[in-house]
Each structure stands twice: as structure tokens, then as C-alpha cells.
Amino acid sequence: MDERTVNILTIAGSDSGGGAGIQADLKTIMAMGCYGMSAITALTAQNGMGVTGIFPASPDFVLLQLKTVADGFHIHAAKTGMLFNAGIIHAVALFLKDHAFPLVVDPVSVATSGSRLLETSAVEALVGELLPLAVLVTPNIPEAEMLSGMSIHSLDDQEKAGRKILDLGPSAVLVKGGHRPDGDGITDVLVRPGQKSLHLPQALVRTENTHGTGCTLSSAIASGLGEGLSLEDAVLRAQNFLHCALENSVNPGKGPGPVNHAAWRSRGN
């Protein structure tokens, strides 16, 4: 085993269109210079125009994937994406409780196209079983509204929602601002217990090719944590990675295209 290799595990659904989910996660992890492993929670029939079908894996098979990966690899950090149902969440939480690596939870619930990627009945399991295990939760604004039970219309609301989600048990919350652009910028808000919230602004990239942005950001953060970066440094580097990927986004098919995960390396990072 090469002790210099940083191994990052993604636990998420497959996007047959290649722009989000497991595919985006593994592209990101490789672009960050790490080695990616995966446990696939569901297959989706998907392209840039939407999701036409979902076929979830059985909880037992998700757990088998996780145990098999852990038997063969040292896991430095992990992220979760689409988990779909309560049974899968329970299996994932059962595995994670026995492992101490940093965990980033991207609480994926609805695709950009509007398709539900988390059953309504699974939200309670997500909150009760998975969030308390997370080093960081990375909700976008609709997800933060779902988890906090409040509407978000301002930076102050982002911070308040982050504090409410923090009360659910994670070590930190990053409320992403991509759904609420302000002029030429967007601002993510990082909330941690006992510390002043950090407002992390970025220039707005005007593109429709935003498929997979949440998957990409959470995978990049997990990669940084696996490499030993502090939470703040991992988030800042991941923001830069995503910004670069958005600036160089591509449109290989119909509908909104994905971000360009290869751009980071091509710029010499």
C-alpha cells in the first residue's frame, strides 16, 4: 500500500449522464490528486434535461459495498450524496458509526430538474442518524430550508438556518448561496459552534452549465479533509475548485451541462 495515497470514499447515486453523483465525485477526487472509491446507493436514468428513473440498491448491498471497500483500503475521508431512502441511510449510518474518518454530508433531496432524490419519509432518518456523524453538512438553500424549517431570503437567514441545522448534531454547516445570487456574487456561510459565522463570497459565474455543483463541492471538501487540511482551508480550496470548474463548464449534450472537473489540473493546480 502506498502510504502517500489519500483515499476518499463517495457514497452516492450514479448519474448516467455523467455530470453529477458518483461520476462527478470521482472526477473531482481525482482532479484533487486523491484516489476515489465508491458505494453506489442508486442507479438513475438521467441526462441534462432531467431524471427519468431511479433504481435504488438494497440496503444490504450498500452495506456490503462499504464493508468491502473498508476491508481493502484505508479511508481518509468520505462524503455522502444521494441516499434516497431510510433503509439506505440506516445502512450507511451503521457502517459510519464504526469508523472515525471525516464525513461530509451533502443532503441531496431534489435534483435541479425537480425530481426527488430523497424520499420524504427518509428525511427523519437523515436528520436523526446521519447528520450527527458529519464533520460538515453542505445544504443548498432549498435543502437548508427543509432541514431548518425556515425560509431563507438573506445572508442573515442563511446564518440562522445554519445554526438551526447545527443543533441537529453536525460539527459544522456550510449553507451554500448559489440559489440566492446577490448582484455579481454569491456567498456561502460557514457556521460552527462557539465561533462567529464566516461569510465566504465568490464571484458569480454566469452559466447554465451547473449540473453537479453540489456533488463537486462536497467531494472537493472531503478530499481536502482527507489530505489533512483544516475545515476552513478545505472549504476555501473547494470553492476555488468549483469556481474554476464553472468558469470552464461544458455542454456535451442537451440541457444544462456539467462543470468541468479537468480545468483545475489544466491550470496547473
114 is catalytic: no
Residue 176 catalytic? Answer: yes
Alpha carbon distance 79, 68 (integer Å): 17
* Type of residue numbered 40: I
Which is the catalytic residue, given 215, 224, 244, 257? 215
Strands 103-105, 77-80: pairing is: parallel
Instruction: Clarify whether 44 is annotated catalytic.
Output: no
Residues 17, 19, 36, 212: which is the catalytic one?
212
Q: Which of 80, 162, 176, 177 is catalytic?
A: 176
- SS3 of residue 125 by DSSP: helix
Contact present, 169 and 132 (Cβ < 8 Å): yes
- 13, 214, 226, 257: the active-site residue: 214
Q: Which of 41, 80, 187, 213 is catalytic?
A: 213
d(CA 214, CA 240): 14
Cell numbers of 242, please?
468549483
Question: Which of 28, 41, 187, 210 is the catalytic position?
Answer: 210
CA distance 41 to 207: 30
Nearest alpha carbon to residue 107 among 192, 23, 173, 56: 173
What is the residue whose three cell numbers read 449540473? Answer: 211
Residue 194 annotated as catalytic: no
3-state secondary structure 214-255: HHHHHHHHHHHHHCCCCHHHHHHHHHHHHHHHHHCCCCCCCC
Active site members: 176, 210, 212-215
